[in-house]
Amino acid sequence: MAIMSLTACNSKNIFLQEWDTPYGIPPYDKISIGDYIPAIKEGIARQQAAVDAITSCPDAPTFDNTIAPLELSGLLLEKVTGVLFNVSETDRSDELDAVVEEALPLLSENSDNISFNKALYDRVAAIYKGDRSGLTTEQNTVLQNWFEDFEREGIGLPEDKQARLREINAELAGKTQKIGNNILAESNAFKEKFGFSVSDYPEKMTTTQDRDLRRQYLEAYTMRGHNGNGYDNRALAVEVLKLRLEKARILGYESTAAYELSDKMAHDPATVDAFLDGIIKASTAKAREEVAEMQKIMDADPSVPGGSRIEPWDWWYYAEKVRASKYALDDDAIRPYFQMDSVRNGIFIAARKLYGVNVEPVKDVPVYSPGNVQTWKLSYDDGSLIGIFTTDYLPRSSKRGGAWMNNVRSQYIDADGKEVRPIIVNVGNLAENMNVDQVQTVFHEFGHALHGFLTKCTYPSVSGTGVKRDFVETFSQINEHWAFQPELLSLYAKNGNNEVIPQELVDKINAALQFNMGFMTTELCAASILDMKLHEVTDFEGFDIDSFEAALAREIGLNPEIGYRYRTTYFNHIFSSGYTAGYYGYLWSEVLDRDLFSRFEASPDGVFDKAVATEFKQTFLEKGGSEDPMVLFKKFMGREPDNTAFLRGRGLID
What number of helices (H) and strands (E) belong to the chain?
A: 27, 7
The CA distance from 446 to 477, in Å, is 10
- Helices (H), ranges, 154-197: 159-194
248 close to 258: Cβ distance less than 8 angstroms? yes
Provide the pLDDT for residue 10.
Answer: 57
Q: DSSP for 26-94?
A: --GGG--GGGHHHHHHHHHHHHHHHHHHHHT--SPP-IIIIIHHHHTTTHHHHHHHHHHHHHHHHS--H
Could you tell me which residues come within 8 angstroms of residue 36 by beta carbon, excluding any fewer than 6 positions away?
15, 80, 84, 99, 103
Provide the pLDDT for residue 577.
Answer: 86
Angle in degrees, 0-180, between the axes of helices 585-601 and 269-299, rounded to the nearest 10 = 80
- Helices (H), ranges, 251-334: 256-261, 269-299, 315-327, 331-334
Cα 90 → chain centroid:
15
Provide the pLDDT for residue 58.
Answer: 97
- In whole numbers, what is the pLDDT of the chain averaged over residues? 95
- Indicate if the pLDDT at residue 2 is higher than 90: no
Residue 576 to residues 102, 176, 530: CA-CA distances in angstroms?
Answer: 16, 5, 16
The CA distance from 469 to 464, in Å, is 12
pLDDT tens, position by position, 616-646: 999 999 999 999 999 999 999 999 999 999 9
**Percent of the chain at pLDDT exceeding 70:** 98
SS3 category, 413: strand
- Indicate if the pLDDT at residue 8 is higher than 50: no
pLDDT tens, position by position, 194-235: 999 999 999 999 999 999 999 999 999 999 999 999 999 999
612 close to 600: Cβ distance less than 8 angstroms? yes
pLDDT tens, position by position, 553-571: 999 999 999 999 999 999 9
Confidence of residue 169 (pLDDT cuts 50, 70, 90): very high
Cα 9 → chain centroid:
37
Provide the pLDDT for residue 576.
Answer: 86
SS3 category, 424: strand
Provide the pLDDT for residue 654.
Answer: 79
Confidence of residue 329 (pLDDT cuts 50, 70, 90): confident
Provide the pLDDT for residue 7.
Answer: 44
**What's the mean pLDDT in 67-85?**
98
Closest CA to 112 of 66, 161, 65, 63: 161
| HSE (side-chain half, CA atoms, 13 Å) at 518 | 21
**What's the mean pLDDT in 244-255?**
98
The CA distance from 478 to 645, in Å, is 12
Greater pLDDT, 410 or 651: 410
Query: What stretch of H or E contains 14?
Result: none
Provide the pLDDT for residue 330.
Answer: 85
Q: What's at 559, amino acid-wise?
A: N
Work out whether the CA dihedral 600, 603, 607, 609 comes out positive or negative.
Answer: negative
**Percent of the chain at pLDDT exceeding 90:** 95
Residue 95 to residues 34, 36, 101, 104, 139: CA-CA distances in angstroms?
Answer: 10, 11, 10, 15, 41
Q: From the CB of residue 45, how many other CB atoms can be counted at a distance below 10 Å?
A: 17
Provide the pLDDT for residue 195.
Answer: 96
Neighbouring-strand partners of residue 607:
none
Provide the pLDDT for residue 311.
Answer: 97
Confidence of residue 653 (pLDDT cuts 50, 70, 90): confident
416 close to 107: Cβ distance less than 8 angstroms? no
SS (H, E, C) 359-407: EEECCCCCCCCCCCCEEEEEECCCCCEEEEEEEECCCCCCCCCCCEEEE
**What's the mean pLDDT in 462-487?**
97
Q: From the CB of residue 288, how many other CB atoms can be counted at a distance below 10 Å?
A: 14
| HSE (side-chain half, CA atoms, 13 Å) at 133 | 1
**What's the mean pLDDT in 485-511?**
95
pLDDT tens, position by position, 339-386: 999 999 999 999 999 999 999 999 999 999 999 999 999 999 999 999
Q: From the CB of residue 215, how many other CB atoms can be counted at a distance below 10 Å?
A: 14
- Indicate if the pLDDT at residue 4 is higher than 70: no
CA 230-232-235 angle, to 5 degrees, is 115
- Indicate if the pLDDT at residue 5 is higher than 60: no
The CA distance from 194 to 602, in Å, is 48
Beta strands 385-392 and 423-427 are parallel
